[in-house]
Chains A and B, each alone.
Chain A
C-alpha cells in the first residue's frame, strides 16, 4: 500500500503488524521465561526447543501417517454428519408434523455429551476408528441438523404461498425455495460441525488408542515424557484446527458469494 503525502501511519495502526508483534512477543516470552527459571523448563521447554522438536517430527514418516490418519477420520466423520444433517434437516423441517414430533427428542439427544458415548463406542466396535467415527458423527451431526432446521423454518411464508399457488411440486419447492434459503444456515452448520468433528477426532485418538493419529501420538509422547515433542504435536493439532477454520470460512464465503440474504449465526 502506498502512503499518501502528509499522512504518516503509526506502527500501532496496522492490525496485521500488531498481530505479528503479539505472536513474536508470545514466542519470545515462552523462550525467555523457562531459560530464566521463572517457569520450570522440564514442563515448559523454551520455544526454540519446541521448534526443534517440531522440525524433527516433520522428518518422521510416522508423523505424516498420523496427520493423514487424523485428517481422514475427521473428513469421513464430517461428511457423514453433514449429509445426514442436511437430508434429515430438510425432510423434518419441511413436514410440520414431523417437526413437532421430533422436537423433544432432538432437544433431549443434542445435549448428551458425546464423550459419554465413549465407553459404549469402545464396547460396540472392535475397530477403534469406528468408535471414533461414532463420537465424531454424533457430536457434529447436531450442529448441522439444528442449523438446517432453522434454515427451513426461515423460508419466507409469502414465497411459500406463492410457490404453492403456482402449483410447484414438492421437489421443485425444495430445489428452488427451501434449499436456497437453507444454504447459508447449512454452511454455518458445516463450519461449526467441522470444528467439533476435529476436536472429537483427536479426543477419540487420545482416549481410545490403537489408531494412527495426532491424538495417539500425543498420548505416546506423554507416556514417554517427551515433553518438547508433545508440545510440538499440540501445535500441529492447533495448526490443523486453524487450517480447518480458515478453509471452512473460505468455503462459506465462496459458496455464499452470490447469496443475497443477510447471514447471522443463531444464538443457540
Chain B
C-alpha cells in the first residue's frame, strides 16, 4: 500500500514541480508572448467551451478517425497482398522505399492543388501521411510469419479468408501494431498541418487564428488542448494494443522465463 502510494507520489512529483515552477517563474512575466500560467488557465474555460468543442474539436476528431481508419484499411490490405507475394514485393520495393522517404507534409500542397480545400482533402492528407508506416510494417510482418505455422495451415487445409483472418493477420499483428502507432502520431500531425494550410474549422485552424489575432494566452491554451489530444489518443492506443497483443506479451514472457 505504502509502496503504491510512493510510486504515485514519484510519478506525480515531477509534473507538479514543473507546473509550480512555471507558475511562479511566469507569474510576473510582462512578455506579451509568454503570459503567466495563471492567465493561460484563466482563459481556458471560456476558450474551450462545449460550443467550441463541437465547432472546432469535433470536426478535427472526425476527420482524424476517418483518415486513420482508411489508412489502416488501406495499409493492412495492401500490406497483406504485397507481403504474401514474393514477386510483387520485389517489384514494388524500390517504389515503396522511395514513397516512404518523401516527408508526407510536402504532399499537402499537391493534394490541395488537386482536390481543393474541402473536407475530403483534409481526410486524404491524413490517409497519405499514415498509410506508409502501416503498409511497410504489415509487409514486414506478413513476410516474417512462422514457417511451421504456415505448414500447419497448409496441411490442415486452412485457406482463404479463414487463413488470412486467423493466421496471417494475427501473426503479423505485433508488427502491424508498431506501424499503427507510428501512423497515429503522423496522422495527428497531418491533421494539424491540413488545418493550418487552409481550413475554416478544426483545432489547428483555431490555434493559428489565435496566433494571427495575437490572442496569445488563448493560443497557449490551444497548444495545451492539442497536446492533451495527443496524450489521450496515445493512451487509448496503448489500451487497445494491450488487448490485441495480449497473447504476444504473454508468449514473450513465457519464452523469457523458460530460458
Asked whether any CB of A lies within 8 Å of a CB of B in the complex, the reply is yes
A contact set with B: CB distance below 8 Å: 12, 14-15, 18-23, 25-26, 43-44, 97, 100-105, 108, 110-120, 122-124, 198-199, 202-203, 206-207, 214-215, 218-219, 221-222, 225, 227, 230-231, 233-235, 237-242, 244-245, 265, 267-268
Closest 7 CB pairs of A and B: A241-B101, A116-B226, A111-B234, A222-B109, A18-B90, A238-B102, A112-B227
Cα A119 to Cα B207 with chains together (Å): 7
Q: Quick one: which of B68-114 are within 8 Å of A by CB?
A: 87, 90-95, 97-110, 112-114
| Residue pair B12, A202 in contact (C-beta under 8 Å) | no
Main secondary structure on B side of the interface with A: helix
Residues of B within 8 A of A25 (CB): 91
Q: How many A-B residue pairs have CB under 8 A?
A: 165
Partner of A120, one of B98, B101, B174, B219: B219
Q: Which of A105, A111, A235, A265 is within 8 Å of B230, CB to CB?
A: A111
Q: How far is the CA of A113 from the CA of B230 in the complex (A)?
A: 6
- Which residues on the A side are within 8 Å of B177 (C-beta)? 267
> B33: which A residues are within 8 A, CB to CB?
123-124
If the complex has contacts A230-B109, A230-B110, are A22 and B103 also in contact, measured as CB distance less than 8 A? no
Interface SS of chain A: helix
* A120–B15 touching, CB < 8 Å: no
Task: Give the residue of A18, A117, A119, A199 whose beta carbon is less than 8 angstroms from that of B210.
Answer: A119
Chain B contacts to A: CB under 8 angstroms: 7, 10-15, 18, 33-34, 87, 90-95, 97-110, 112-114, 174-175, 177-178, 181, 185, 188-189, 192-193, 196-197, 204, 207-208, 210-211, 216, 219-220, 222-223, 226-227, 229-231, 233-234
Neighbouring A residues of B196 by C-beta, 8 Å: 115, 118, 207
Q: Are B227 and A115 in contact (CB under 8 A)?
A: no
- Known: A112-B226, A202-B105, A237-B103. Is A105-B231 also a contact (CB below 8 A)? no
- Given contact pairs A19-B91, A19-B94, A43-B114, A105 touches B18 in the complex (Cβ within 8 A): yes
Cα–Cα distance between A156 and B230 once the two chains are bound (Å): 34
B222 engages A268 (CB within 8 Å): no
Establish whether residues A219 and B94, one from each chain, have CB atoms under 8 Å apart when the complex forms. no
CB distance from A259 to the nearest CB of B (A): 21
CB of A234 within 8 A of CB of B107, answer: yes
Residue among A26, A119, A206, A221 facing the most chain B CB atoms (10 A cut-off): A119
Q: Which residues of B contact A21 (CB under 8 A)?
A: 91
> Which of chain A's residues have a CB closer than 8 A to the CB of B103?
198-199, 202-203, 237, 241
Which chain A positions have C-beta within 8 A of B108? 206
Whether the pair A112, B230 counts as a contact (CB closer than 8 A) is: yes
Decide: A18 and B18 in contact? CB cutoff 8 A. Answer: no
Flag if A123 contacts B216 (CB, 8 Å). Answer: yes
Complex Cα spacing A150 to B228, Å: 25
CB of B101 within 8 A of CB of A22, answer: no
Q: Which residues of A contact B97 (CB under 8 A)?
A: 242, 245
Closest to A112 in B: B227
A sample of 15 inter-chain contacts (CB < 8 A) reads A18-B90, A18-B91, A20-B94, A22-B93, A23-B95, A101-B13, A104-B15, A105-B15, A112-B226, A123-B216, A222-B109, A222-B112, A238-B99, A241-B102, A267-B177
